[in-house]
Structure formats: C-alpha cells, structure tokens
Amino acid sequence: TQLLEQSPQFLSIQEGENLTVYCNSSSVFSSLQWYRQEPGEGPVLLVTVVTGGEVKKLKRLTFQFGDARKDSSLHITAAQPGDTGLYLCAGVKGSNYKLTFGKGTLLTVNP
C-alpha cells in the first residue's frame, strides 16, 4: 500500500505553462516535504509544510498543505526548462524518523 499517492506520474509541458502536482494520502502527516531531484543526484529539499492549510511560496513555486494534513500540492507558474526534474513529496508521521516518499512526478519543461 502506497501511503502517499502522487499525480500525475509524468508531465511534459511547454515553457511558460502553469502546472500543479498533487500528493494525497488517507493518513495524517505531522509534516510534508517537497524535494526536486535531477538524474544521478540526490533529492534537494524545496519546502516543508507543517500546519494544516499552510501556503508557502518559493519564487514561482507555491506549496499548499491540506487543512486535514493529509494532502499537499505544488503549483509552478510560468514553468522554465530549469524546472525539469523528479518532484517527490515525502511525509513524516508522528515523531518517528521514517520519511515516506510518494512515487514522484517526472516533469519535463520543453523550450
């Protein structure tokens, strides 16, 4: 059973378009993180959301944590080729150390 469901799994868009990636679960998470990973490299932390209903902005990226802390979304405005990569959501339940990953969304932004 996949605790975190990400959608879409693959996304190919043109430069300048907007997109939204979703991360959903039936479980409550104490926090959710979003990472971006390029081929052959380690995941790079983009943001952590902790409070239900929280919205965080990072330049053209907007992250939202659902009110019930079961889901999150990542919205990218005016995508650029440099946004290309694997976007992973990951959650922590309670106070343990296990970071559970979604399957990821592979984004390709074409020039």
Partner 1 sequence: DTEVTQTPKHLVMGMTNKKSLKCEQHMGHRAMYWYKQKAKKPPELMFVYSYEKLSINESVPSRFSPECPNSSLLNLHLHALQPEDSALYLCASSHPGGPEAFFGQGTRLTVV
Residue 108 CA to residue 92 CA, distance in Å, equals 28
Could you say whether residue 106 binds partner 1 (CB under 8 A)?
A: yes
Residue 56 CA to residue 111 CA, distance in Å, equals 27
Tell which residue, 105, 100, 88, 104, has the closest CA to residue 30. 100
Q: One symbol per residue from 55 to 74: x for binding partner 1 (CB under 8 A), - otherwise; what is it? A: --------------------
Residue 88 CA to residue 6 CA, distance in Å, equals 8
Could you say whether residue 1 binds partner 1 (CB under 8 A)?
A: no
Could you say whether residue 43 binds partner 1 (CB under 8 A)?
A: yes
Identify which of residues 42 and 82 has a Cβ nearer to partner 1 in the complex. 42
Could you say whether residue 48 binds partner 1 (CB under 8 A)?
A: yes
